[in-house]
Amino acid sequence: MLLIADSGSTKTDWRLVDDDGHTLNSVQCKGLNPYFLSKAEIALIIQQEILPVAPNVDKVIFYGAGCGLPAKVEQVKSAIESVLPVKYPTEVYGDILGAARSLLQDQHGITCILGTGANSCVYDGKQIIENVPSLGFILADWGSGTVLCKDLIAQVLQKKLDPNIIADFHSTYNMDTRQILDKIYNRPQANRFLASFTPFLLKHADSPSCQKIIKNNFRHFFEFYVLPYGNQHLASAITFTGSIAYHFEDFLQEVASEYGIQIKTIVQHPMDGLVKYHCQTVPAIK
């Protein structure tokens, strides 16, 4: 049996499948980004939430945000193997490779992630051949839930939005400026806290001021994460995955058209494509 994981900074989707790709179990836990959680913390979450529903696993293939560097890969790999009794070595990859394998399978193209964070790559059908550095929400991540809501909250607290939107924000969340800033600057996982306001931004997406936040972020995303790949790659399939890309699809398509870009596919979750890739395209258990 194969256990596949797709982990962002907010949540992790797990799918237990047999050799033919039939789903035996699905479960979700919090995001397991190794930049925000220690090996012990990751192992504890897996022990409490995953082991009870997947006690007999031949192999684990884990795709995750924050798994781009060897040290972070080893941190996650060792956490998994300390809890799950697997027969074959665990494989850990960055979430962007998982997105590319899911959406493009064995085809060449550009894959983008817009969820809590943001990322993109050029994929040649086997591996990533170009990748703009993600840099995280402090330095980049335009278009992500974290940065969209960072901009939203800044304008709420500076009273630059419609008064009705500001009033609705405070009524919905019942937090003053001090409490918000404390959660951003003094508490762990500020990115998840910021991204948690995405439903509010979506609720008011018909407001001109909120549309400006959304569209400007998407413009920055295309300029930083897509256009640098050049015309030779922009002519290939361009695909997106992630909750932001999915729920704000109309705005994303509108901004893409400003740059003459046609988006082929937008999916909310990459898991179905990953199961297809590992069970049909490239059998994982060898």
Could you tell me if residue 65 is inside a domain?
yes
φ, ψ at 62 (rounded to 5°) = -115, 125
Could you tell me if residue 87 is inside a domain?
yes
Residue-wise DSSP of the chain: -EEEEEE-SSEEEEEEE-TT--EEEEEEEE---TTTS-HHHHHHHHHHHTGGG--S-SEEEEEETT--SHHHHHHHHHHHHTTS--SS--EEEEHHHHHHHHHHTTS-EEEEEESSSEEEEEE-SSSEEE-----HHHH--TTSHHHHHHHHHHHHHTT-S-HHHHHHHHHHH---HHHHHHHHHTSS-HHHHHHTTHHHHHHTTTSHHHHHHHHHHHHHHIIIIIGGG-HHHHTSEEEEESHHHHHTHHHHHHHHHHTT----EEES--HHHHHHIIIIIS----
Could you tell me if residue 16 is inside a domain?
yes
Residue 189 and residue 169: Cα distance in Å, rounded? Answer: 21
Give the pLDDT confidence of 122-181 residue by residue, as tens digits.
999 999 999 998 888 888 899 999 999 999 999 999 999 999 999 999 999 999 999 999
Does the pLDDT of residue 282 top 60, yes or no? no
Structure confidence at residue 284 as a pLDDT band (50, 70, 90): low
Residue 99 and residue 250: Cα distance in Å, rounded? Answer: 21
Could you tell me if residue 237 is inside a domain?
no
Number of domains into which the chain is organized: 1
Characterize the bridge pairing of strands 128-130 and 237-241: unpaired
Could you tell me if residue 198 is inside a domain?
no
Could you tell me if residue 30 is inside a domain?
yes
pTM of the predicted protein model:
0.89
pLDDT at 249: 98
Could you tell me if residue 49 is inside a domain?
yes
Give the pLDDT confidence of 74-131 residue by residue, as tens digits.
999 999 999 998 999 999 999 999 999 999 999 999 999 999 999 999 999 999 999 9
Place of tokens 């972070």: 72
Q: What is the CATH number of the domain that holds 18?
A: 3.30.420.40
Domain that holds residue 20: 2-100+270-281
Could you tell me if residue 228 is inside a domain?
no
Residue 149 and residue 243: Cα distance in Å, rounded? Answer: 14
